[in-house]
Amino acid sequence: MRADVIVVGAGPAGLASATRLAEAGRQVLLLARGNGFTHWGAGAVDVLGRVGGEPVERPLAAIDRLPDGHPYRLTGEAAVREGLDWFSRFAGAAGLAHAGDPDRNRRQVTAFGTLRQTCLLPEPAAGEGLGGRVAVVSFAGFRDFSPALCALGLRRAGIDATPASAPVPAWDHDRYFTAVELARAIDDADFRRRLAPGLARAVAGADVAVVPAVLGLRRGHEPWADLQSLVGTPLVEAATAPPSIPGVRLFAAYRARLDTLGVRWQFGFPAIGVERDGDRVTAVRSEGASRVVVTRCQELVLATGGVAGNGIEANRDGTLTEKVAGLPVGLASSEPGRSEGRMAFVGARFLGDHPLGAAGVQVDAELRPVDASGEPVLANVRFVGGLLAGHDPTVEGSREGVALATAARVASLLAATPVR
């Protein structure tokens, strides 16, 4: 098999990279093991929430305070801004309009009643400045959102929140159901008409209602807007545990866009290695249905994620390995390929920081992997997203921003490369 550009990974960075490269005229093959952090994230666009543990209000202005080697320092602020602008246009065109401003962080309400720092928010989650009387409502039989817990957290944040429960109309389903099942049901206009009266009673007297992010799966933000008008009270979707329904919506939008652009897509077939000729990768090996498939390529973009995303293997002996190109990886505190033992992987507190979360591949300003002296070791391979060294996407709240900024950089670099 043959491809012009192979993108490996279907998380936020791989999806954006594949889309943008296709828009830039490249023939793209997307290889993915499975879903990524669209599904496991909070369903918003985090750009930079914290630096050194301190909350950041102006994410782009804070890039200067990041250490050398951080992905944003490599791409520059312009690529971050351009990446976010592109995303806003893309999401808006897909019926998933996002609110927010790259120059100012916003707060996203979560199922714990915490107000997490983020930047761009899907409109159903964008009810900034929750004020007045807030009803926190779940749907009877949905176990993955506790109005009592969310209201408790909101009250601690000084918000007048009260828990409530709305009945779910009879539907062709079990007594208990998942977020995906409920969201799919809410796609149906008739179901929404039957759901709305009970929800309206549950939120009666409130100025705004916080609900779990389950208002529709496949029809963009239309089910949310429709239900909101039927209920007559603003509805704000709170971030829930995985799978993220807003993330599933976004994934579906990318998939539709990639289909339109003619991108080939192999899902469930992980890349397991590369073939090289000197400093160039000539082909990618991936698991096929019954054999290893070798696909030749001109350019390779690796968006396989860090340890969490399965792009990097953490080994029992304390070493780390990048799983497709086989590059050595180090913790921030150690040289690539060197081990201080696996106890150096993690911190003492679960809710603290873990060196493993920031493990990644060192790259140059063109996102090519480099050796200890800073020289590129592979000329035609670019690394994007969570796979990059120098940042912990969870701790600093930068996952989607880094994905979009590095995808922007790759698109500009490779659009300029003539097809051979």
Partner 1 sequence: METDVVVVGGGVTGAAVLRDLALRGVNAVLVERFDLGTGTSGRWHGLLHSGARYAVRDQESARECIEENTTLRRIAPHTIEDIGGLFVLLPGDDEAYAGQFVEGCRASGIATEELSAAAAHRREPLLAPDVRLAFAVPDGGIDSWALLRSMRADAEARGCQVLVRHPMVGVERTGDRITAVRVHDAVAGQDRTIGCQWVVNAAGAWAGEVGRMAGVPLTMIAGKGVMVVMASRYVRGVVNACRKPADGDIIVPQHEVAILGTTSEQVPSADDISVPPADVDRMIDMCAQMVPAIASGRVLRAFAGSRPLYQPEAPAGDGQAESGDTREVSRTFTVLDHASRDGLDNMYSIVGGKLTTCRQMAEAVVDRLAERMGVTEPCRTATEVLPGAGHGPHRVAAPLAKVERDQAYGELICECELVTRGQVRDAVADGLTELEDLRRAVRLGYGPCQAAFCAWRAAGLLAEAQPPEGSGEPPSGAPDPLAGLERFLEERWRGQQATIWGDQARQALLNHAIYRGIFDLQGAGAPDEAAAANQTPTEPGSGDPTRRVGDELIGDSEGRTSSRPGGG
Q: By the criterion CB under 8 A, which residues form the site for partner 1?
A: 37, 40-42, 53, 110-112, 114-117, 141, 143-146, 148-149, 151-153, 155-156, 162-163, 174-176, 239-242, 244, 306-308, 310, 313-316, 341-354, 356-357, 393-395, 397, 399
- Taking the complex as a whole, how short is the minimal distance between the CB of residue 386 and partner 1, in angstroms? 10
Minimum CB separation of residue 296 from partner 1 in Å reads 30
| Residue type for position 153 | G
d(CA 269, CA 231): 44
Nearer to partner 1, 291 or 349 (CB): 349
101 versus 340: smaller Cβ distance to partner 1? 340
CB atoms near residue 181 (< 10 Å): 16
SS3 83: helix
Structure token digits, residue 362: 């060192």
* Smallest distance from partner 1 to CB 161, Å: 9
Nearer to partner 1, 53 or 418 (CB): 53
Question: Least CB distance from residue 351 to partner 1, whole Å?
Answer: 4
Q: How far apart are CA 264 and CA 18, in angstroms?
A: 10
Residue whose token pair is 């009945």: 167
| Per-residue tokens: 344 | 């150096």
For the CB of residue 64, give the shortest distance to partner 1 in the complex, in Å: 22
Residue 151: CB minimum distance to partner 1, A: 7
Return d(Cα 87, Cα 84) in angstroms, integer.
5
- 86 vs 145 by CB, closer to partner 1: 145
- The token pair at 272 is 């397991």
Task: Report the residue number, 49 or 223, with the smaller CB distance to partner 1.
Answer: 49
Minimum CB distance to partner 1 smaller for 155 or for 194: 155
Closest to partner 1 by CB, 24 or 241? 241
Residue 121 CB, shortest distance to partner 1, in Å, is 14
Strand 160-166, strand 133-139: pairing: parallel
| CA-based nearest residue to 248, from 209, 212, 213, 211 | 213
The set of residues, in sequence order, having a beta carbon less than 8 Å from that of 283 and lying 6+ positions away, is 274, 275, 294, 295, 296, 297
Name the DSSP class of 67: P
